[in-house]
Structure 1
């Protein structure tokens, strides 16, 4: 995953939109985010998690209280890449009635390509799609990718179960966990289903044994034999029947020809009639043209008569139209007079009325501007009055605040008079610290003495061994003398402690001053040191909590003197023992070797007693010195801190008084200016109202003038009405003239057509009479009585041809039938027909055919049954073999399912990943700590840190200090980020929020060197911190400026080193 661009606005301290090009700022692999505490550095990470998951780690319920107080909208957009694909996720929120709650307004996830594709457009769908794309839920993302404040060590301290679940998602192990288990379950179910299905299919196959197949084969053999016999019998019958069918065919054909002859005989009369019609039609063919001309002439004459009637009717209609046109022409003269009056009287009024209207519009526009100006001035006046009142109120509050501050300043001045007493207490504390240092030095010296003592004891043991062989007593004597000298030194040291204790008595008296001061404090009254009226943790006076410090110190002094006396007495006893030992050594020299060897053993016992006594003495000395280390000096330190705070508060109050006095002057000046501006506005409004009144009166007079000219309407409307009326009248006049002219013209045209038609009809009548007389003469010569008989004799050419063809076909059929009957009669004599024999033979043949077909069908059924049985037997054996293989697979799947139960396989893979990461994290941790620490996993999967500077001793991570926890968590985060895959793509970045403040300079240097090496790994690492030294180490970084009191939000600026 590679972040590309982040935009957000209205989120926590950010009000305006911020746009961050993460590719630019993270181009060199590592970058920082710096700014003061509370500026909004971590909010940048919140913007990323809000865009991706709709959730902010630090907010209640994920989004409550995250919107900036000065806005009602929150928007966030995050663009990132997964491999070669780019995505853009956007979310926006609006504020609810409850100010600390918000509602999602828009959520969408877009796949960025040539054409943008919206993958999801609802809040839950966007989150689910993001989880699917990244393979991480919100909690996993904040543990391994973006690590917020106070969450850095969360992954380190997770339980084995939680860590396994997280690693399952981070390393995409779901397919090996529940998904793989579900697949195995489904596979097992499918295999069992197939197994049972095969068993059912085997049962459905029925009996397909070899015995059944043999029985069917015997039945099939019998059927084939019977079918062969029937086939042979059928051939003989078919041969006999074929001969009989020939005779039957001849007989039947004779019957058919005889019936055909009788049918033709019946058609003879009709044929002869058609022959007569055909002869007349041939004669009439010469008259067709004459008849056609005659018919055409009659038709034309009839059309002309019809046209004549229409023209006569049109002539009557046109006379009526001429009368009406004459009336309209007379009316148009009156309309022309009205047009002339409108042009001469009404049109000249329009320019004057238009001028009046223009003046009214100018006056109305001026009035409108004045009204608008008055409204704006009134609004400004109300705003100024409100501001005047608010400033007066602020002025009163500021004056009251100044009075209170002056009282506070006076009280604080009284408090600071106690400075000398506090400084004396501080000086006493400093002396006490010096004495403690001396005490520590003495303790170190004592430890040094102890080491020397151990060396001397070792030397003593060597001398004792040597003495056994040679001069043991002389060496022992020297050692004892040295030990006595050491004991005397201890006595002297105790006496010095006694002197220190006496000085501490005086110190305790001085120290009790803080308690004396605090005992005078009362709730609600100012402290004499810091001026505060609230006292949450006052120093407690010594007499209230324990004995008088002087008395206690004296008692301790007496104890030390007593213990010093006891030490001197003990030293005398040691000297006595030493003297005794000296005498014993002299005696040893006079005894045999075996006897003085016993004395040496006694001497060693005495030496052991001496060493025990010496240890006892050291413990007493430590106890005495420890009692004086418990001196409580927090009260004096608190007083010193309060004194410093009081001085700062006094300075702050003085500066605040000066600031507020300047503010009061500015407010008084501002109030005076507001008052003058209000008076000026009132005067301007009054003048504007007077001008409006004048304009209204002038406009009213102009309206009356317009009404006197054109009535209660506008110039434009009146002008339109007049011009429209003139246009309509002129159009009516032109129309009347055109109608008069066209009507007279049409009458002339009709009269001309009437004369032509009458002349043409007379000529047609004469021509028709001539043609009819000539036709009568020709009809008589051809044998026709009249034209009607001629017309009836006419037949169309196609119909004549059809009649001729029909007559010819009849003649041919008659000749063919007679000849066929003659030929068939000869054949019948040669092959006579016996109907009874034919029908009997045919019946036997049909019966034999039916039996043969039945036997063949039964044979086919047996053949099919045999084939089915063999196929079923083959299928049964195949299913049996398949079920055998399925059974073996079911056994394997059951074994695999048992191995996958309770996520055993996922736990194994997660543990392998975890051990792999632990090795890499251990290498990183070694680099960060100068090879001091190593990180391991124990048998239970818990993290163990090995300290190689302490012999490789193992420590639980819960026992680590803040700096050690941070370094260990960082090493683990680096290892985790190098292993994490988001849907198969390596994680390309992660963020660290805070944590660097717990490191010293040396460890900080090691951490930075390690992070800078990540550039080579092609990973982007973001660091959020307030540690200033880190800024100079960053090639590029973001500088965050805090929100301002005027409402301006935090801002982000990218900078380069």
Structure 2
């Protein structure tokens, strides 16, 4: 990290805003920070440390305690620091929590702590990385620099009074800072991974042993010996039980066979008894079957007489129908005679009806003669009414015209009085339109600024997510890289072991040429295949590609964020002071302009409408005046016409009866006359029609009676003949009468059912008797078996078989269980052996990697010890010069006492005494030289390792006063040599020789109104 500029306001002793441009000091400068005690030299380093991490270099004061008491109340305490990391530049601004003056009103308010971090591209464009959260800014700085605040203090700043911390740190503390500087966390992850895997395997081994004990316990066994003894004992017992079970099964099968034969014979005897009973039952049904046969024969005889019976029944029904028809004809004749007599009585009134009809016809002629006169009279009445209505309408229109003219004049005068006010309101319309348009544009720009600001926040959140994802992918890539390198290392080690196996005693080694081979390389691990190496390489390559893609996406988001931030800045410039006004106020202002503009527009429209209406009213007045004059002329003409029609109507009314003075009355009288004529004609026609119809009905009734009498006599004769024929056939067929015939009749379905029943009986009887005779012949000389005895024998055989099977089953089940247990134990032992073999390898690796073996050095600490040796080599070179060849820094290789971590402690070799002693025994000046050498050596080594953190800046706060003149000159010469290697070195010191030797300075002047900074160049 290389500082570019520093700005401090109201910070420490600096009451005003102080600007410091580090680039003005030159390229890779060695400069002195000079000033009296209390002027603020250390505060300059505090400002850098606070800007980056929110902490001071000494960690003795919080940021909220750094405000200058001499600063103006309106000046905010803040620090802005710009720096360069590699090819990228950054700027961070940090404000501590403090009291500040309110922007509006009296009193003060609490200013919360905040921080902003920007990235600056080559063109000077800034992109916001952190908007305000101090924790996010600190985390981002730690990610960029690779150092937290404690590590920053130890490797880039040697604070006043604390330069011994890096020198005196134990293995654990030094491991933390070195692992961060050299990015060796991958080895820590290897340690943790091996430790976790070993613990998992150890748990699996324990679980496997528990399972083995559980297998024995589930079988009721205490040990493997007990299992083997019980299996040896059960084998002959199982064979004996198997033989007994087979004998019992054979005995049961023989008894079952004998029992089946006896049961078959018993069934035949039972069948014979059943057949004998069935034959007896069938013999008992013979009389019933004879009766059924007789019934069937009678039914067949009755079936032959059925047609003749049907003829008789038909003739009988015809005779009854003819008798009923005769009775109806007699009744109809009586009714027709009575109706004819009534019609003759009504016909006697015909002369009276005809005279009344003639009278009504004469009245009709008189009424028709009055029609033309009344129509003319009605026409005159209607014409008079129309003219009178027109006259009244004309008078009303005349009056309305007068009223309309008066109203129009009055309304015109009222409208003319409202013109001045509307003209005044309309004149503001143009200015309001312009103001409204400007406010609309301002609101649109403000809303765009809000949207862009929201997108800036969203993109920043995405950028944070992408950064987290990038860290995860970076870790995955490192893991894949370690896996591949581990496989490759194993492969190379395996190659050495393969070569070692081929060595022969007294034959030269193809590598070193030695003929003795005291310790040939060995390898217990299996050699990884080329395919495994290729897969690991592909996994590492894929992880690298995914990481590169994620980084490209991250850069895309950064570009997008920079564009959005520029857009937001441009919009904010356009808005000016309006950017601080809330959206609600902008919207409210626009609404007010819109409301005022609407009122002005309405006034303008009302003015135009009012002017148009006044012009219309002028025209309307002229029109109404003309209309009034025309109405007066028309009224006089109508009045003359009405008077003439009234005289004509009075003359005609004298010649018309008063009762028929109107067409309505005449029409009603004509309708009444026409109705009377129609009713009389209808009565005459009705009487004559009734007389004719009743006469015809009377004659027809007489004829119908004669026909009915003849039909009744003929039907009765046919019935008598059919009765005689039926009686003759009944006697011939053997039936006593018709009732006997009816009782014997069966339909065809009943006859078929009866015939089937008789035939089935006959067939069943014959079959049963034949079966009975056949079975009797078969059972001749046979004896009925004893079923109870046979059942007892079968029960005994089944019980014996069941007992034998139970005995065998118990032995078989136990034997199978023991054999399964034996198999499960073998499988469990095999699995345990595999796990134990695996643990022998993984567990040993885990113990070695985690420092649980003799030297107590973990894998990461071992790697760091190698790096520390490089650091100490560089540091010792400088310390050797500054101490005039006396001291050299060494790494302590002895194991620490107890379980304390070791491997990274320091010792110092004293050339004067030829002894190695702890670094804590150095004096103050010697400790400063050692710490300075250590810091410079660490910077050299970190820079040399690819992928390490850039330590191209070092600040040293005091410590030079403890050196003698020669040591001081050597220290200054060392710093100058370091400057020539491309580093920026800043030194804080009161030593006058430092001021003489270092010409480039930052002078801090202490005044009554606060300190000030000045750059002094040679």
TM-score normalised per structure 2: 0.37
